[in-house]
Amino acid sequence: MENSTGQQANLDNGKTVAIVSYITLIGWIVALIMHGNAKSSLGAYHLRQMLGLMILAVATTILRVPLMFIPFLGWGVNLAISIGLLVFWILGLIAAVNAEEKPIPLLGDLFQKWFAAIGK
């Protein structure tokens, strides 16, 4: 019984870390600290997913700045990238809420490789 209770507590903590990591940069930092106190594979997985997503958002923002000055085409590309990032964030959050280690489409597996040291 103790073992299953301990496993449940670890799963609950991992799920909390996973969900909190998707709530802005401050939430990610809080989740990283929480994860340091009680490590779980689920928490580490989503910390890596969200770190990759945040870096992707910053990188695409830098690349999108010149596009803001191109009427219609640039605006459309900016909107499409913003919607894509939002969809990736929602998919990651849904996976965290469901306690699944499901990668963000296209880059999620790469995020796991690139940021393997996070959460260990």
Concatenated DSSP letters for 3-40?
HHHHHHHHHHHHHHHHHHTTSHHHHHHHHHHHHHHS--
How confident is the model at residue 5, as a pLDDT?
58
Residue 9 confidence class, pLDDT cut points 50, 70, 90 = low
What are residue 13's phi and psi, to 5 degrees? -65, -45
Q: What is residue 4's predicted lDDT score, i.e. its pLDDT?
A: 59
Taking Cα atoms as reference points, which of 1, 101, 116, 8 lies closest to residue 52? 116
Residue 120 maps to a domain: no
pLDDT digits (tens, 9 = 90+) for 16-35: 999 999 999 999 999 999 99
Per-residue model confidence as pLDDT tens digits over 33-77: 999 998 999 999 999 999 999 999 999 999 888 888 888 888 899
Domain assignment of residue 119, yes or no: no
What's the number of domains the chain is made of?
A: 1
Nearest to 88 by CA among 76, 102, 73, 68: 102
> Residue 41 is part of which domain span?
2-114
In contact, 68 and 75? CB cutoff 8 Å: yes
pLDDT at res. 1: 42
Q: pTM of the full predicted structure?
A: 0.86
Helix (H) or strand (E) holding 54: helix 41-64
Please identify which residue in the block is written with the tokens 């260990």.
120
Measure the CA–CA gap between 36 and 92, rounded to whole angstroms.
21
Is 43 part of a structural domain of the chain? yes
Residue 13 belongs to a domain: yes
Q: Kindly tell me if the per-residue pLDDT of 101 is higher than 70.
A: yes
Predicted confidence at residue 8, as pLDDT, reads 61
